[in-house]
Amino acid sequence: MSPIIPQEGWIVQHLFYHVDHGFWAALTPEEKAERFDRFNATVEAIRAHPKTQLLTFSMVSPKADLGVMLLTPDLQDANRFEKELGQAFGPEVLNPTYSYLSMTEWTEYSEKEEDASARIARTENLEVGSEAHTARLAEWKGHMEKYFNDRLYPNMPDWQVMCFYPMSKRRNVGANWYAQEFEKRRELMGGHAKTGRKFSGKVRQLITGSTGLDSHEWGVTLFAHDIFQIKTIVYEMRWDEVTTQYGEFGDFYIGIQLNGEELLQRLLLA
């Protein structure tokens, strides 16, 4: 089967399931053991696939029991892995409760090279084209190359607390994000990014694009060691104009990243 690989970026799926504990309780110990092995083998096989990451969570609150975040380059693989995960415990054990499809993407609001050149010259009093200015611009280029690579091809952290939510920009009369001039939008997003940088080392975030793919325009995935930091960054960012005027949000899903036996025990399957 021919691969379906995007021009840039990776496929990202957030999958959430309820566990049918009544069905599970009716299984024999031998049947449960066989299904444990099948689930673990499925997870390990997916994680061993090239350029593929699979994160598993015990979800907090009855919205879902099990959460999965999958990143992989090929849509064929993403689709196949999704089907395999849903049946990894056999039929009727995992029931999908919510899912979200998106892709990693870079942001169009990043600083452009000509703007960076002018900023370096102005703020550091360096003549454009001078050796010092050229060196500083090269540093900036290296930073941006890493930034874009991390956005498109991220390495997800093993931090314990995960938060996922979808969001869109409003198109209301008097508050239509897409009716704003580009420079105004970039200014607002710059302020939003400044708020986010205050949480460096405390919160890791991945913004993925879903226009035409799912019910909202972006998926936001946050990781932290402390749920307080999740609550705080979302609260702080809601005071930014880009959020107060234009932000619309879906439901929030909180999970604890667990693996193997710990995950199965938390889900009351072991």
pLDDT at 93 over 90: yes
Of the two residues 241 and 213, the one the predictor is more confident about is: 213
Domain ranges in the chain are 11-105, 110-153
Place of tokens 């999965």: 68
- pLDDT mean over 34-44: 97
pLDDT at 111: 83
CA distance 78 to 70: 8
The total number of residues written for the chain in this structure: 270
Q: Which of 17, 98, 165, 253 is catalytic?
A: 165
pLDDT at 248: 96
Range of lowest pLDDT (91-100, 169-178, 209-218, 248-257): 169-178
CA distance 243 to 192: 8
pLDDT at 243: 93
CA distance 43 to 70: 11
pLDDT at 147: 87
pLDDT at 115: 84
What is the helix (H) or strand (E) element at residue 76, kind and residue range? helix 75-86
Sign of CA dihedral 100, 103, 105, 107: negative
pLDDT at 117 over 90: no
CA distance 153 to 150: 5
pLDDT at 270 over 90: no
- pLDDT mean over 163-188: 94
Structure tokens at 60: 């907090």
pLDDT at 221: 99
CATH of 11-105, one of 3.30.70.260, 3.90.1150.10, 3.20.20.70, 3.30.70.1030: 3.30.70.1030
pLDDT at 1: 87
pLDDT at 113: 87
What does the mean pLDDT of the chain come to? 95
pLDDT at 62 over 90: yes
pLDDT at 239: 93
Q: Is 109 a catalytic residue?
A: no
- pLDDT mean over 8-17: 99
Phi, psi of 264 (to 5 degrees): -65, -40
pLDDT at 36: 94
- Residue 228 CA to chain centroid, in angstroms? 19
Spatial neighbors of 213 by CB under 8 A, at least 6 apart, are 101, 102, 103
Buried b (16+ CB within 10 A) or exposed e, 135-153: ebbeebeeebeeeeeebee
